[in-house]
């Protein structure tokens, strides 16, 4: 059995600060090439290595990350 | 998106607490005010005290904090939050009154209110966000600006002969008999967020037990004022702020647990310039 995680970023509220990406132990997050309605390059998952540790959620100043975790 | 199949309510492990509103915060991208708000709000949520908590907003970037917390809030005149909190907590002794203040608000214009509320041992919680600068007004020097640190009003770096020493207000209030719990925390890494949350919870619990003034500093950044990216500002804080503003408990259950030697602060550190 393995642990699988996923994050959902509220794209429109993300400010593209990059703090989440800087603490992710699995380098799952990067800022998108695309921008949201305010012109920010929002955070997104770039691979499936997420372990659902919620580190990103804990440091996101804007509280826009929701984290999921499951045993698969 | 990746791993979409596990995005289901039963697999939820972390989401924003409902003690924060859904309003988009006006803070700059990466500003720790948002993270610190959430730490406090999560503790209020976990302790189930939302309906008996009253916050006091300062003047400073967090002047609009009342828009983000789903609890009762009052806006204080600049620096006067501890005086207002004293009155509110005395009138509502079973409630949880906390102030939320920046270094300009708490350690410059509000120094008298801070010191006297702590000295009276008011049963309030003071949350102190030290980003070593006046963020809101454009990055002027604050009492807590480091020696050598550049700001709008110290463009060549803070000089002791001209601007005096950084004010160690947290160590100072620890000396007063009214303070019960005095601690210095931060919120840039998951580990620091966990520790800060434990400290915030302790402050609320001590307040419920009517132990006197609870003082929780958060060493913070102002990436806009420091003219750095949010991630670089966090790194700069760890490199330059933490040696001066040392994290950890200073006073616990009314006893000093970490002595402070003023001679330590006379060491003028070579700061990397704030570009
Ligand atoms: C009586 C009064 N004096 C001065 C000001 C201008 N002023 C607004 S915010 C501020 C300082 C803010 O710095 P700080 O408390 O560190 O908060 P930050 O924005 O850094 O979070 C000052 C001097 C004011 N609004 N009212
Ligand atoms: S920390 Fe939050 S606001 Fe900043 S980039 Fe990540 S998701 Fe966006
Ligand atoms: S939950 Fe953990 S592993 Fe997944 S993206 Fe966030 S920090 Fe990275
Ligand atoms: S000016 Fe500084 S303290 Fe104010 S919101 Fe921006 S980063 Fe935060
Ligand atoms: Mg400040």
Q: Write out pLDDT tens, residues B61-120.
A: 999 999 999 999 999 999 999 999 999 999 999 999 999 999 999 999 999 999 999 999
Give kind and range of the element (H or E) at residue B47.
helix B32-47
Contact flag A67-B229 (C-beta cutoff 8 Å)? no
Other C-beta atoms closer than 10 Å to the C-beta of A49 total 15
Q: Which residues, at least 6 apart from B150, have a Cβ–Cβ distance to it below 8 Å?
A: B156, B157, B273, B274
Beta carbons of B127 and B40 less than 8 angstroms apart: yes
> Which residues of chain A does B27 touch, with a Cβ-Cβ cutoff of 8 Å?
61-62
Q: Whose CA is nearest to atom 3 of ligand 3?
A: A50
- Name residues 13-52 of chain A within 8 A of B (Cβ): 13, 15-19, 22-23, 28, 40, 44-48, 50, 52
For the stretch A21-66, pLDDT in tens is 999 999 999 999 999 999 999 999 999 999 999 999 999 999 999 9
Confidence bin at B272 (pLDDT 50/70/90)? very low
Q: Cα-flanking dihedrals φ and ψ of residue B128, to 5°?
A: -120, 115
Contact flag A22-B231 (C-beta cutoff 8 Å)? yes
Please state, in angstroms and rounded to a whole number, the distance separating the CA atoms of residues A8 and A14: 11
> Which residues of chain A does B194 touch, with a Cβ-Cβ cutoff of 8 Å?
58
Please state, in angstroms and rounded to a whole number, the distance separating the CA atoms of residues A15 and B127: 25
Is the CB–ligand 3 distance for residue A30 below 6 Å?
A: no
Which residue(s) pair with B255 in the sheet?
Answer: B252
Say if B55 is an interface residue toward chain A (CB within 8 Å): no
Residue B1 pLDDT: 80
Q: A45, A48, A54: which to mutate for ligand 3, most atoms within 8 A of CB? A: A54
Please state, in angstroms and rounded to a whole number, the distance separating the CA atoms of residues B89 and B122: 8
Whether residue A12 is predicted with pLDDT greater than 50 in this model: the reply is: yes
What is the CA(A25)–ligand 3 centre distance, in A? Answer: 7
The mean pLDDT of B259-264, rounded to a whole number, is 80
The mean pLDDT of B208-218, rounded to a whole number, is 98
Residue A1 pLDDT: 82
Q: What's the maximum distance between 2 C-alpha atoms anywhere in chain A?
A: 41
Sign of the CA dihedral with B91 first, then B199, A51, and B28 last: positive
Partner-chain residue, chosen from B3, B20, B34, that has the shortest CB–CB distance to A6: B3
Please state, in angstroms and rounded to a whole number, the distance separating the CA atoms of residues A13 and A60: 11
pTM over 0.95: yes
Is the CB–ligand 3 distance for residue A67 below 6 Å?
A: yes
Sign of the CA dihedral with A22 first, then A26, A29, and A33 last: positive
Contact flag A61-B35 (C-beta cutoff 8 Å)? yes
Q: Cα-flanking dihedrals φ and ψ of residue B55, to 5°?
A: -100, 155
Q: What percent of chain B has pLDDT over 90?
A: 94
Say if A59 is an interface residue toward chain B (CB within 8 Å): yes
Q: B61, B136, B152: which to mutate for ligand 1, most atoms within 8 A of CB? A: B136
Contact flag B6-A5 (C-beta cutoff 8 Å)? yes
Contact flag A22-B15 (C-beta cutoff 8 Å)? no
Contact flag B24-A68 (C-beta cutoff 8 Å)? no
Confidence bin at B262 (pLDDT 50/70/90)? confident
ipTM for this model: 0.97
Confidence bin at B265 (pLDDT 50/70/90)? low
What is the CA(B55)–ligand 2 centre distance, in A? Answer: 26
Q: Which residues, at least 6 apart from A10, have a Cβ–Cβ distance to it below 8 Å?
A: A64, A65, A66
Beta carbons of B20 and B69 less than 8 angstroms apart: yes
Other C-beta atoms closer than 10 Å to the C-beta of B157 total 17
Residue B267 pLDDT: 53
Say if B194 is an interface residue toward chain A (CB within 8 Å): yes
Residue B275 pLDDT: 39
- For B79, the token pair is 């620096």
For the stretch B239-253, pLDDT in tens is 999 999 999 999 999
Residue B261 pLDDT: 82
C-alpha distances in Å from residue B219, one per residue of A9, A58, B122, B206, B235: 27, 17, 23, 22, 12
Identify the closest residue of chain A to B12 by CA–CA distance: A68
Long-range pairs, B149-158, Cβ under 8 A, ≥24: B149/B240, B149/B271, B149/B274, B150/B273, B150/B274, B151/B225, B151/B274, B152/B225, B157/B271, B157/B273
Torsion from C-alpha of B85, B86, B92, B94, nearest 10 degrees? 90
* Average pLDDT of the residues of chain B: 95
Residue B274 pLDDT: 43
- SS3 label, residue A35: strand
> Which residues of chain B does A67 touch, with a Cβ-Cβ cutoff of 8 Å?
12-15
Residue B273 pLDDT: 44
């Amino acid at each position: 059995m393995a642990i699988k995680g996923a994050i959902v970023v509220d794209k429109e509220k993300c400010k593209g600060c990059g703090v989440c990406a800087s603490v992710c132990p699995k380098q799952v997050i990067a800022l998108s090439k695309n921008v949201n309605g305010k012109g920010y390059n929002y955070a997104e998952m770039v691979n499936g290595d997420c372990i659902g540790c919620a580190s990103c959620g804990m440091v996101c100043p804007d509280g826009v990350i929701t984290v999921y975790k499951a045993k698969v | 998106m990746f791993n979409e199949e596990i995005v289901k309510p039963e697999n939820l492990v972390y989401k924003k607490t409902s003690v924060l509103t859904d309003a988009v915060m006006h803070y700059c991208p990466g500003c720790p005010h948002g993270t610190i708000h959430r730490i406090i709000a999560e503790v209020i949520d976990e302790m189930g005290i939302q309906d008996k908590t009253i916050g006091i907003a300062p003047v400073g970037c967090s002047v609009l904090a009342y828009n983000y917390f789903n609890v009762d809030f009052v806006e204080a005149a600049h620096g006067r939050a501890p005086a207002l909190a004293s009155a509110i907590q005395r009138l509502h002794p079973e409630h949880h009154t906390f102030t939320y203040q920046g270094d300009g608000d708490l350690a410059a214009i509000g120094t008298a209110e801070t010191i006297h509320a702590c000295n009276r041992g008011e049963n309030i919680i003071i949350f102190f966000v030290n980003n070593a600068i006046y963020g809101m007004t454009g990055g002027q020097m604050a009492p807590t600006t480091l020696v050598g640190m550049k700001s709008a009003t110290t463009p060549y770096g803070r000089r002791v002969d001209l601007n005096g020493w950084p004010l160690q207000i947290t160590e100072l209030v620890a000396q007063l008999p009214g303070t019960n719990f005095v601690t210095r925390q931060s919120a840039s890494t998951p580990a620091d967020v966990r520790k800060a949350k434990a400290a915030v919870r302790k402050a609320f619990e001590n307040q419920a037990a009517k132990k006197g003034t609870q003082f929780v500093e958060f060493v913070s950044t102002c990436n806009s004022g420091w003219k750095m990216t949010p991630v670089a500002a966090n790194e700069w804080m760890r490199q330059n702020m933490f040696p001066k503003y040392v994290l950890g408990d200073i006073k616990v259950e009314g006893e000093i647990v970490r002595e402070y030697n003023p001679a330590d602060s006379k060491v003028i550190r070579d700061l990397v310039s704030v570009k």
